[in-house]
Chains A and B, each alone.
Chain A
Amino acid sequence: MSTELHKSGNLLRRLLRQKEIQIFVLLGVVFLLIFNYMPLMGVVIAFKDYSITSGIPGIFKAPFNNFAHFKEFFSDRRFMDLLRNTVCLSVLKLICTFPAPIILAILINEVRNKAFKRIVQTVSYLPNFISWVLVLNLATFFFSENKGVFNEIFMGLGLLKQPVNWLTSPGAFYGFSSALAVWKTMGWWAIIYLASITSIDPALYEAAGIDGAGRIQKILHITFPGIKGAIITVLILSIGGLLGGGMGGANFEQSYLFGNVMNNSTSEIIQTHAFKLGLAEGRFAYATAVDLCQSCISILLILVSNKAAKMISGDGIF
């Protein structure tokens, strides 16, 4: 007991000693509370018969509804489709977008010509700054069934007999979305790994070279272990945001923009469902309940992935 009091006294004294700095921390904490935690109170409408006409007071006054929104979502005729699409799209995007920037970073690191290296790095992360709406227009131009550039080229070369429906085929949606996500985000995430690579002691490479290690061996035994921490951190963060699209992000944007009535059976995900049958209909409580389900799954995934990372490599983020 006395030890605990002693410890808390020490902590208080340390905080007081750092009061100028702690005030800035406090500022951040206050902002966090106001902008990130206070709005969380609104989650309660997921359990209530809330109508938007009752405004903000209605959040607290509306009666509880015995999980009616959750029951409605779980019994929706498309629930299993939505779950399958959300999980499949997310997992496929994770599988595609997770290794791609690692490989790109290692390849860029191996380039000896500095000018070329800089050009490759710049070109590879530029797509990150293009909005998904613009990506849709570019994709339509290149992949359209009717006079799209790729179909025209492939058919001109005799590689295709008839145009491929990249943008409308249900079977193409997961793969096409994942490929676009890789193209758009690979260069951006590679920056983190490149930064991590620069922290590796060059003496290790020199020593390995003296010992006769080739490039591949240096990558496998020096570069890769050197960025292991960054890889695990990024992986855990990606798994936490898995249902939102992970590192590729933008599951909602992709499904909403690239989704259409032709590929709807594979493009409709939980988030677009919440938007179309929740927000757009003014059913904020239902949309909240649906998104809350997705958030719960995401939290569970981040806990499990952190635990798994600790078991496998001994490292985790908390």
Chain B
Amino acid sequence: MKHAHRFRIIAFLVCIAVIGGVFAACTSGDPNATSTTPSTAAATDSTDAASSAAGSQPPTNQDVVKLRFFQEEIWWPYTTWEGRIPEKITEKTGVALEVTIAADMNALNLMIASGDMGDLISSGQLFTRLSDSNLCYNWDELNQEYYGRDFEIHSATRFVNTAPDGNLYTVFVGFSPDCEWEANPKGVLEGAGLVVREDLLEEFGNPEVKTIADIENLMAQCKAAHPDIVPITFNIIYDAQILKILMGSSYQTTGFIDMDGKPKVFLKDPRLWPVYEKINEWYRLGYISDENLAFTQDSQDYDWMLNGKQMFASFHSAIADGWNRDLKAAGSPYRVKQLYDFEEPDAKNIVGNGAGWRGMFIPKSCANPKAAIDFVNYMFTEEGRHLALWGEEGIDWNWNEDKTYPILNYGSNRDGEDGYGQHGIKIWGFLNHQGFDNSLHLYGQDDSDATMGARQWLTDIAEINPVTAMIRLTPDSKEAVAMAKIEDLYKNMQVEIYTAPTAEAAREKYEEMLRLADELGALDLEAWAEPQYTNKKIEYDRIRGNLS
């Protein structure tokens, strides 16, 4: 009897353990499980963005809808939705975000496969994957359902962001139609840049650096006088973009470029060869180090500059202002100088990502689609955009006299604790900005002269064609597979061209890269892209001048 009783106890404990294990294995992440507001309450609890923006009563804590927000970018600066400005946005929209940042580049793909993508997603990489009516709501559909109208956006912006199925699932930030650029002459483009150590520049007689030949002269002097200093480094993301701009070549690393009105796979730009030839020459002269070409992290050139290991750094246009603050804080005896206003006759900034770079998607797993579209709608109002970018008008910033740029009331280190940081505004964390206004707040700021100068030069020589970026590859299609393989080929063979032992060997490698690209399907890709590119280009050129 005692034996049977003991057996029953053991059996009971085992059953509990097994059931617990099965539950652990099968938990699929109920979309409502972590949301504080059930979907059934959505219609009554959420606050209408339009009415909030118009000044109706702000939502109380009980009204606030918490949306699970997933950010695909692993570097996104917000880890929590905290601070005065995020709270102000919550007050206006009735929405607070529970932020989750991707742990790695596969996270969003895994979420898609699991079927639970939270309530709101921000992605720059998976436009075509997420532009699927089975996965995400389209913004017109939600606005029609709740407000009886389509999502309001400029016709050119709508065209640029329309998915292959004709729906609008997101609007990528960073694109501005022509009329916006014309109306905002102070707006500038971001992009690649070049900095040089000022102490070395002075050591070599403080010459003007306006041409590639000037750069080469300085590198030669550096190599001779300081063999332990690497004359130039290329950032892992920006690579040799500044040299490509100076020599008038495209600098895309994926997708298509326009060559004489036809779409070509990005590595087919014939203007790339002179750039490769130049870099190969620099490599053979010892101006570029193997270790730099093998960089795997975005911060390595920054570390090298702090440690005095390099003279020039090919990076982006805001480097000098940022690095000089850090060099000063680190007690370094030298500063860096942002170089711009070059006088190279072929210089051209061919903007390949002119269709924007990141957008919000409302997945079908969203527990409260109305709250999500309210949030999106508000972020795409001028008030919402300015609030997210600069803070509260009248408190954090005011327009200049002719209302062409904001004057911020922050300290010099705007992205630090004494500036944006204390209010919860974080650089590169903006959920919406236009092409022209991402840098507008730097205009006229004493500590941003170099950044604005470099960006103005990039803008002056810019050629923006968003249509090449509108040739979007369908996930899992043979075109997408071919493009992925060509990107992989480019990544590996470009460095073989850079490091070839002779100019002839570099040329052979370059030709081999083009031949292999064709074998991998570049020609088929171009034939596939051409009709849609032609049609989209005609349509875009027709509407690009529209005022609304």
Contact = CB atoms under 8 A, between A and B. Distances in A.
B294 A279 contact: no
Contact of B291 (A35, A168, A282): A168
Interface string B274-316: 0000000000000001110111100000001001010000000
B290 A145 contact: yes
Interface residues of B, number: 49
Contact of B475 (A35, A51, A146, A262): A51
B212 interface: no
Given A282-B109, A283-B481, A284-B113, A165 B290 contact: yes
B276 to A, nearest CB: 14
A292 interface: no
A148 B303 CA distance: 14
B506 to A, nearest CB: 15
B288 to A, nearest CB: 11
Chain B interface SS verdict (over half): helix
A277 B485 contact: yes
A282 B18 CA distance: 33
Contacts of B290: 145, 165, 168-169, 262
B304 A146 contact: yes
A308 interface: no
Contact of A167 (B294, B475, B519): B294
Interface in A168-205: 168-169
A280 B499 CA distance: 28
A229 B489 CA distance: 47
Contacts of B22: 34
A234 to B, nearest CB: 31
Nearest to B17: A27
A290 B294 CA distance: 26
B105 interface: yes
Contacts of B491: 261
Contacts of A129: none
A124 interface: no
Contact of B10 (A20, A30, A34, A167): A20
Interface in A23-52: 23-24, 26-27, 30-31, 34-35, 38, 51-52
A260 B296 CA distance: 7
A119 to B, nearest CB: 35
A264 interface: yes
A262 B106 contact: no
A23 B21 contact: no
Contacts of B291: 144-146, 165, 167-168
Nearest to B520: A77
A117 interface: no
Contacts of A30: 18, 21
A313 interface: no
Contact of A277 (B7, B230, B488, B494): B488
A35 B21 CA distance: 9
B112 interface: yes
Contacts, number: 108
A23 B491 CA distance: 56
A161 to B, nearest CB: 12
Nearest to A256: B296
A3 interface: no
Chain A interface SS verdict (over half): helix
A257 B22 CA distance: 35
Contact of A53 (B112, B309, B520): B112
B537 to A, nearest CB: 28
B491 to A, nearest CB: 6
Contacts of B488: 276-277
A294 interface: no
B294 A168 contact: yes
A118 interface: no
B109 A52 contact: yes
A280 B105 contact: yes
Given A262-B293, A277-B485, A283-B481, A31 B114 contact: no
A276 B485 CA distance: 10
Contact of B109 (A19, A27, A165, A279): A279
Interface string B1-39: 000001100110010011001100100000000000000
A35 B115 CA distance: 20
Contacts of A228: none
B531 to A, nearest CB: 25
B464 interface: no
A27 B293 CA distance: 53
B431 interface: no
B164 to A, nearest CB: 14
Interface string A235-263: 00000000000000000000001001111
A261 B495 contact: yes
A56 B28 CA distance: 11
Interface stretch (B74-82, B129-137, B152-160, B215-223): B129-137
A156 interface: no
Interface in B484-533: 484-485, 488, 491-492, 494-495, 499, 516, 519-520
The 9 closest A-B pairs by CB, nearest first: A260-B294, A52-B113, A262-B294, A168-B294, A282-B109, A261-B495, A168-B290, A55-B115, A145-B291
Interface of B: 6-7, 10-11, 14, 17-18, 21-22, 25, 105-106, 109, 112-115, 126, 129, 132, 134-135, 228, 230, 289-291, 293-296, 304, 307, 309, 475-476, 480-481, 484-485, 488, 491-492, 494-495, 499, 516, 519-520
Given A27-B17, A34-B25, A146-B230, 20 more contacts: A23-B11, A26-B14, A31-B18, A31-B21, A53-B129, A53-B132, A77-B516, A144-B291, A145-B289, A145-B290, A146-B309, A147-B307, A168-B290, A168-B293, A257-B296, A261-B492, A261-B495, A262-B290, A280-B105, A282-B476
30 contacts: A19-B7, A30-B18, A34-B21, A35-B25, A52-B112, A52-B129, A53-B112, A53-B113, A53-B132, A53-B135, A56-B113, A56-B115, A147-B307, A167-B291, A167-B294, A168-B290, A260-B294, A260-B295, A260-B296, A261-B294, A261-B491, A261-B494, A262-B293, A262-B294, A262-B495, A264-B492, A276-B488, A282-B126, A282-B476, A283-B476
